[in-house]
């Protein structure tokens, strides 16, 4: 079996699985906020995990806020920044944001804010020149900016550092959705100088329902979940201490795999070149842009991505199309529409996303499988 949907969700890593088996045997299991011995010991384990996460992510201990995942982190930042904002009304996002950002931004639009959607170029990167122009045009009226670091469909890395520099110059809060970035390439929160960043455990090989909100100035954060004051008042509710511990294990494991990025990138490029040689009409979305080493978004115009997905699944290879479907009719995703991709190409996409320690020979098997699938489906289409 080849699992190639890591951008969707990563299986529990072997290290996390082994950790949990040992953890279940030895305990303790208690409320980490209790003052008895078992509670204190549980809290110590979770705080050790926080330290480990901070080390890998290049953050201070108190900049790590455990939560249920990136969606909660995104909602928390929007709430924190906008709940007390009475003067500045503009929220800037991009046309390729995850729905967790897009839908939250439009929720606040229904409450008096104005959402401006930044265009992207044909290579899938946000228009930095346009962004700079908007900052000049709307000086003093921008409440916050929310733009991702790497796109979940295309794998294209965005100029988030340049965007952050411009935001810092105008003192504009910047939320960078780093959900797809963290775990697939090195990231240092303090060096990035971002105001806010997020990650989800299930993208990293940790337990589902876990995540981290990284905050430059935690004392300024208004909690979305008030509860009983856990996480130093930043996020109420009894902590998922077991899940938080797996975040530390998963991040430490991923850090060891960063040395594989170069070899994986080279193999991915060979894979893409082989497919284009076999089928010159094949399109690699975002091919010329900087991309995550693990992601290929490919289309054979005229062949539906769902059909390709089904063919690959029959070979025990699991990919996604990353396109919404209605009445069994594939449609072009909003990300591809924002890039100006035609429906002929957009309906044919499949996303192949591996992890940093995936065997390189997976790409050889994927090459053979896709060539066979495209040839078969092309014959069917020709009738």
Fold assignment, 259-382: 3.90.1150
14-256: CATH number: 3.40.640.10
Model confidence, pTM = 0.95
Instruction: Calculate mean pLDDT across residues 59-70.
Output: 98
Span(s) in the chain for CATH 3.40.640.10: 14-256
Instruction: Calculate mean pLDDT across residues 188-198.
Output: 98
Q: How far is CA 102 from CA 9, 112, 252, in A?
A: 20, 16, 31
**Which of 18-27, 164-173, 329-338 has the lowest average pLDDT?**
329-338
Whole-number pLDDT of residue 86 = 84
With a cut of 50, say whether residue 135 has pLDDT above it: yes
Whole-number pLDDT of residue 329 = 55
Whole-number pLDDT of residue 325 = 45
d(CA 76, CA 68): 11
Q: 77: pLDDT confidence band, cut at 50, 70 and 90? A: very high
Whole-number pLDDT of residue 357 = 95
Whole-number pLDDT of residue 85 = 86
To 5 degrees, how large is the angle CA 344–CA 345–CA 346?
Answer: 100
Whole-number pLDDT of residue 284 = 98
Angle, to 10 degrees, between the axis of helix 361-382 and the axis of helix 305-314? 120
Q: 5: pLDDT confidence band, cut at 50, 70 and 90? A: very high
With a cut of 90, say whether residue 381 has pLDDT above it: no
Instruction: Calculate mean pLDDT across residues 375-381.
Output: 84
Whole-number pLDDT of residue 322 = 67
Whole-number pLDDT of residue 335 = 96
Give me the chain's average pLDDT, please: 95
Whole-number pLDDT of residue 84 = 86
Whole-number pLDDT of residue 383 = 41
Closest to 378 in 3D by CA, of 280, 285, 268? 280
The model's pLDDT over 116-127, given as tens digits with 9 standing for 90+, comes to: 999 999 999 999
With a cut of 80, say whether residue 165 has pLDDT above it: yes
The model's pLDDT over 319-353, given as tens digits with 9 standing for 90+, comes to: 999 654 443 556 899 999 999 999 999 999 999 99
Q: Annotate 294-307 with b (16+ C-beta within 10 A) or e (fewer).
A: bbbbbbbbebbbbb
Span(s) in the chain for CATH 3.90.1150.10: 259-382
With a cut of 50, say whether residue 302 has pLDDT above it: yes
Residue 299 bridge partners (DSSP): 283, 349
With a cut of 90, say whether residue 379 has pLDDT above it: no
Whole-number pLDDT of residue 380 = 67
């Amino acid at each position: 079996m080849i699992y190639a949907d890591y951008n969707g969700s990563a299986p529990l890593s072997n290290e996390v699985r082994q950790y949990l088996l040992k953890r279940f045997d030895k305990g303790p299991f208690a409320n980490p906020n209790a003052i008895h011995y078992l509670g204190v010991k549980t809290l110590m384990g979770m705080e050790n995990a926080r330290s480990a996460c901070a080390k890998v992510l290049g953050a201070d201990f108190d900049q790590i806020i455990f939560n249920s995942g990136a969606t909660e982190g995104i909602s928390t930042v929007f709430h924190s920044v906008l709940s007390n904002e009475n003067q500045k009304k503009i929220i800037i996002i991009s046309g390729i944001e995850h729905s967790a950002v897009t839908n939250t931004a439009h929720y606040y639009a229904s409450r008096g804010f104005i959402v401006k959607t930044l265009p992207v170029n044909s290579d899938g990167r946000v228009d930095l020149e346009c962004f700079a122009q908007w900052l000049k045009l709307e000086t003093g009226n921008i409440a916050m900016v929310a733009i991702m670091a790497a796109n979940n469909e295309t794998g294209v890395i965005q100029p988030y550092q340049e965007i952050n520099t411009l935001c810092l110059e105008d003192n504009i809060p910047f939320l960078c959705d780093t959900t797809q970035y963290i775990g697939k390439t090195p990231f240092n929160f303090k060096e990035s100088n971002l105001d806010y960043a997020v990650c989800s455990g299930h993208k990293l090989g940790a337990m589902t329902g876990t995540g981290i909100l990284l905050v430059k100035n935690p004392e300024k954060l208004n909690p979305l979940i008030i509860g009983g004051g856990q996480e130093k008042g930043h996020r109420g509710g009894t902590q998922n201490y077991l899940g938080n511990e797996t975040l530390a294990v998963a991040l430490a494991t991923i850090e060891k795999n960063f040395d594989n990025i170069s070899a994986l990138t080279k193999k991915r490029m060979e894979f893409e070149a082989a497919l284009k040689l076999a089928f010159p009409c094949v399109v690699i979305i975002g091919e010329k842009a900087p991309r995550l080493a693990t992601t290929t978004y490919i289309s054979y115009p005229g062949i539906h991505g769902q059909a390709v997905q089904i063919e690959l699944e029959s070979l025990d290879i699991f990919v996604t199309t990353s396109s919404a479907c209605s009445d069994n009719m594939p449609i072009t995703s909003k990300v591809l529409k924002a890039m100006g991709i035609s429906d002929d190409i957009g309906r044919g996409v499949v996303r192949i996303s591996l992890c940093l320690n995936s065997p390189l020979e997976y790409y050889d098997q994927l090459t053979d499988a896709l060539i066979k699938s495209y040839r078969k489906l092309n014959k069917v289409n020709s009738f």
